[in-house]
């Protein structure tokens, strides 16, 4: 079940996979839409980088890149700063000390959600479930 803490958050960090589902009109986006409605939506700077990396890798043309740029205007982009770096290091070390590795990119996304007191909407629950203080919105939690 999705925690009441996650549902109570007025701000949600949207993981890269979910932004991609919404952008592409994928059926998996439908699960998230009710949870994202009437909320302040944000993405980590890392999500922006991941989305553009995927677009460049796929050889998107100027029109599709412009569509992505316009789509990202629906989100607040959370930047990196000193406090975020400290949060990232703490999350990374905590996971490593418990034998639970987290990808660097996922750690940045989780750090943004925690630093800015947001829930995280993701389809990759297993990447984040070991971070106990992080409220998750994920289909596998329903």
pLDDT in tens, 70-124: 999 999 999 999 999 999 999 999 998 888 889 999 999 999 999 999 999 999 9
Residues 113, 84: Cα–Cα separation, whole Å = 10
Give the 3-state secondary structure of residue 112: helix
pLDDT at residue 9 in the model: 76
Q: What is the pLDDT of residue 1?
A: 56
For 16-39, what is each residue's pLDDT tens digit?
999 999 999 999 999 999 999 999
pLDDT at 101 (0 to 100): 85
Q: What domains can be seen in the chain, in order of their start residue?
A: 4-141 (3.40.50.1010)
CA 89/CA 111 separation, integer angstroms: 9
Q: What's residue 5's pLDDT?
A: 73
- Residues 5, 118: Cα–Cα separation, whole Å: 10
Provide the pLDDT for residue 113.
Answer: 97
pLDDT at residue 142 tops 60: no
pLDDT in tens, 45-66: 999 999 999 999 999 999 999 9
Q: Give pLDDT, residue 8.
A: 73
Strand order in the sheet with 40-44: 76-78, 40-44, 11-14, 119-121, 136-137
pTM for the predicted model, two decimal places? 0.92
């Amino acid at each position: 079940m999705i925690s009441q803490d996650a549902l109570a958050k007025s701000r949600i960090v949207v993981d890269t996979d979910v932004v991609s589902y919404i952008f592409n009109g994928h059926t998996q986006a439908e699960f998230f839409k009710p949870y994202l409605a009437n909320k302040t939506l944000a993405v980590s700077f890392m999500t922006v980088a991941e989305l553009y990396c995927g677009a460049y890798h796929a050889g998107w043309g100027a029109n599709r890149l412009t569509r992505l740029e316009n789509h990202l205007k629906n989100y607040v982009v959370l930047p990196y700063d000193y406090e975020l770096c400290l949060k990232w290091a703490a999350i990374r070390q905590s996971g490593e000390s418990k034998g639970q590795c987290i990808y660097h990119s996922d750690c940045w996304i989780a750090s943004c959600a925690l630093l800015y007191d947001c829930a995280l909407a993701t389809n990759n629950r297993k990447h984040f479930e070991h971070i106990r203080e992080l409220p998750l919105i994920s289909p596998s939690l329903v």
